[in-house]
Structure 1
Amino acid sequence: MSDEQKTTDLPTVISDLEKVVKEKPDNVVARHHLGLVYRQAGRVEEAITQLEKAIELDDQSMESMINLGAIHFDLGDTEKALKLNEQALAISPKMAEAHVNIGLIRQHQNRVADAIESYSTAIQIDPKLLTAWINLTSAYTMNEEDAKAVEAAREAVTLEPDSAMARNNLAVALYFKGDFAESKQNLEKAKELGYSVDPRFIDALNEKLG
């Protein structure tokens, strides 16, 4: 789900944006960004209020829809999250990020085949979208399509060799495909890059390698 670049000086940014919104209540951009920093600060209800207001002021505000959907997904309301991403797609059918988000929702609902379809659509639109390849890898793994999982994982690593998650996903996909030595190499790389690897996976892999 969408999550824009983190802001470090939250109190100052919040204060500045609140002043803008107070002076210009119809400023969609200010409300959108205020919603984002509220979310980052853990002020979830206020974030929802600002993003909803941004959409009310501008019914074409796709980024507000995407980020509001992310909040509802985190809160466990997948139906609201799905509706908001579908609303964004109705405005811009080639919005790859929304297709990825819908895939993530479907995967969370155990609709894995539908998730794969959504991720694949996102990749057709933007072949360099890393999150689409990473999520597609995990969906193929869930669906026990091990060769396809490895292929997707390799694409993700090619796009971003220093992505810890892509490396871990490749390690997992290779494990299920039976390529234990290469799995171990990518697992070590994921750890080196700071990924918190599941200890159970480490134990299972070491057992396979003897």
Structure 2
Amino acid sequence: MSEQLREDLPKVIEELEKKCKEHPNSVMAFHHLGLVYMKAGRIPEAIQALERAIEIDDLSSESMINLGAIYFGQGDLDKAQELNEKALSVNADSAQAHANLGLIWQQRNDFDKAIQCYEKAIQHDPKLASTWINLTAVLTMKGEDDRAVAAARKGLELSPDSALGHNNLAVALYFKGSFTDSKTHLDKAKELGYSVDPNFVSSLQSKLA
């Protein structure tokens, strides 16, 4: 978060809180307040605001998705799944909800379901770089190295400075036996601030020796 945005947050929150008091049935007011609370790290208040938005309008899929993201961050996968599935019952074309479910299944080590969700997300929005990058990790775990490399390259085409993208491509290339290319992307991941796995670094160095 930029310093300027951090400084502006209290003022934005104050204005949105006032708007919510003046318009207690405004879905958008509570939704935006919830998002700003999230940015400010005021998670209990963010949950309360987003729950209020859903209470006002039980078709508010974006509020469900953002509330699900909070619960995912807290490790409550069941609640996160429930909210994203509810969002999809409202809007079956939501790429973000499908992508979020992919992350949930990935956390549960159900890679087949994770791949299905990521692929659905990509069908609805092929420009979601993070989905391609997350798909890379799951395909690598499944041993689908060619598909993993292709997904990583697509993700980096959309987001060239993704540290996670370069790391995931490095891992995928390693398992394909492309050790020099793997090191190139691993170095880029480190340059971009990614905390690379020291065991992977050691293994790659031994392959290059």
**TM-score, scaled relative to structure 2:** 0.92
Shift of 1:7: 4.3
Matched with 2:172 is 173
Matched with 2:50 is 51
**2:87 equivalent to 1:85:** no
Runs of 5+ unmatched residues, structure 1: 1-5
Matched with 1:163 is 162
* AA in 1 matched with 2:20: V
Distance 1:155 1:67 in 2: 26
* AA in 2 matched with 1:117: Q
**2:139 equivalent to 1:144:** no
The sequence identity of aligned pairs, in percent, is: 59
Q: What secondary structure is seen at the aligned counterpart in 2 of 1:149?
A: helix
Shift of 1:156: 1.1
Q: What secondary structure is seen at the aligned counterpart in 2 of 1:35?
A: helix
* AA in 1 matched with 2:154: E
Tell me if structure 2 keeps the 8 A contact 1:7–1:37: no
* AA in 1 matched with 2:198: P
- How many pairs align? 205
Distance 1:47 1:128 in 2: 28
Distance 2:54 2:198 in 1: 43
Tell me if structure 2 keeps the 8 A contact 1:14–1:37: yes
Shift of 1:197: 2.1
Q: What secondary structure is seen at the aligned counterpart in 2 of 1:110?
A: coil
Shift of 1:194: 2.8
Q: What secondary structure is seen at the aligned counterpart in 1 of 2:202?
A: helix
Matched with 2:97 is 98
Asked which structure has the greater RCO (Cα within 8 Å, sep 6+), the reply is 1
In terms of mean alpha carbon deviation, does 190-199 or 89-98 score higher? 190-199
| Structure 1 residue ranges, 4+ long, deviating more than 3 angstroms after superposition | none
1:1-210 equivalences under 5 Å are 7-8=5-6, 9-210=8-209
- How has the CA–CA distance of structure 1 residues 34 and 7 changed in structure 2, closer, same or farther, with 3 Å as cutoff? farther
